[in-house]
């Protein structure tokens, strides 16, 4: 009987090898040959899964965003409180080594998307998805009566998204300066600044 190979798993193995090559040697060194070598397979085998470098890059970039979305979906919310919103936002920040690795790879792909049309639409799609997460957070706070009464929801959505993306980049590029603790404190302070004072005794 022929050996059954999990097609999707093999593609993910190649994508993860691409991440490592991109992170360690840079995008311009991430050739199909080097990625095949890193994945421990022949160029011919890799070509079976991806017919072009563009296809491989699009899959690899998409896989980063899928992993992040998977983590967001797996959070069990205790309710649309400020604390739950903080949990959600922290999933988008480089709070540990694994997420920092994702951040570096994502940053490299986004920069490449500026000049690579095949990645641009994917990058824009993820931008829209993340923006809608921010809109969900702001609108939930408004709907639950937690937000300040005069909040401009559209402006606050963009402000929150810019803040989180900026923090993600600084936490990735300057981890010694922008530590996980500092990122968490900034997110807490920002949510506090757009919300009414909490009624509990622990005004975070």
Instruction: Report the distance separating Cα 55 and Cα 57, nearest Å.
Output: 5
Nearer of residues 144 and 185 to a copy of itself, judged by Cβ: 185
**x-or-dash string of contact with a copy of itself, 27-56, rule CB under 8 A:** xxx---------------------------
Query: In terms of Cα–Cα distance, which of 52, 164, 145 is closest to 103?
Result: 164
In 3-state terms, what secondary structure has residue 77? coil
Q: How far is the CB of 11 from a copy of itself (least distance, A)?
A: 23
- For a copy of itself, the binding residues in 141-180 under the rule CB under 8 A are 152, 155, 158-159, 161-167, 169-170, 173-174, 177-178
- The residue written with tokens 């049309």 in the block is 117
Residue from the set 108, 122, 138, 195 that interacts with a copy of itself by CB under 8 A: 108
Query: Between residues 40 and 176, which has the closer beta carbon with respect to a copy of itself?
Result: 176
Residues 70-89 that bind a copy of itself (CB under 8 A): none
Going from the C-alpha of 67 to that of each of 25, 42, 73, 119, 139, the distances in angstroms are: 23, 26, 10, 18, 25
100 part of the interface to a copy of itself, by CB under 8 A: no
Q: In the complex with a copy of itself, which residue's Cβ is closer, 14 or 92? A: 92
Task: Mark residue 79 as left, alpha or beta (left: phi above 0; alpha: psi -120 to 50; beta: remaining).
Answer: left
d(CA 82, CA 192): 8
Contact 53, 42 (CB under 8 A): no
CA-to-CA distance for 26 and 22, rounded, in angstroms?
4
Closest to a copy of itself by CB, 177 or 200:
177
* Residue from the set 121, 124, 132, 144 that interacts with a copy of itself by CB under 8 A: 124
Binding residues vs a copy of itself (CB under 8 A): 22-29, 104, 107-108, 110-112, 114-116, 123-124, 127, 131, 152, 155, 158-159, 161-167, 169-170, 173-174, 177-178, 182, 185-186, 189-190, 193
């Amino acid at each position: 009987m022929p050996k059954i190979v999990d097609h999707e798993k093999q593609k993910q193995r190649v994508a993860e090898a691409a991440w490592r090559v991109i992170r360690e040697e840079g995008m311009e060194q991430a050739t199909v040959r080097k990625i095949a070598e890193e994945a421990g397979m022949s160029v011919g085998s890799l070509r079976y899964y991806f017919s072009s470098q563009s296809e491989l890059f699009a899959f690899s970039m998409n896989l980063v965003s899928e992993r992040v979305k998977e983590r967001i979906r797996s959070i069990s919310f205790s309710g649309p409180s400020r604390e739950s919103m903080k949990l959600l936002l922290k999933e988008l920040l480089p709070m540990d080594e694994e997420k920092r690795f994702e951040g570096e790879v994502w940053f490299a792909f986004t920069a490449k998307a500026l000049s690579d049309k095949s990645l641009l639409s994917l990058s824009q799609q993820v931008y829209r998805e993340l923006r809608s997460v921010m809109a969900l957070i702001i609108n939930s706070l408004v709907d639950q009566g937690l937000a300040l009464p005069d909040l401009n929801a559209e402006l606050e959505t963009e402000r929150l998204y810019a803040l989180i993306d900026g923090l993600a980049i600084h936490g990735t590029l300057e981890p010694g300066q922008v530590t996980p603790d500092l990122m968490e404190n900034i997110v807490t302070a920002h949510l506090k600044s757009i919300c009414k004072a909490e009624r509990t005794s622990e005004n975070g």
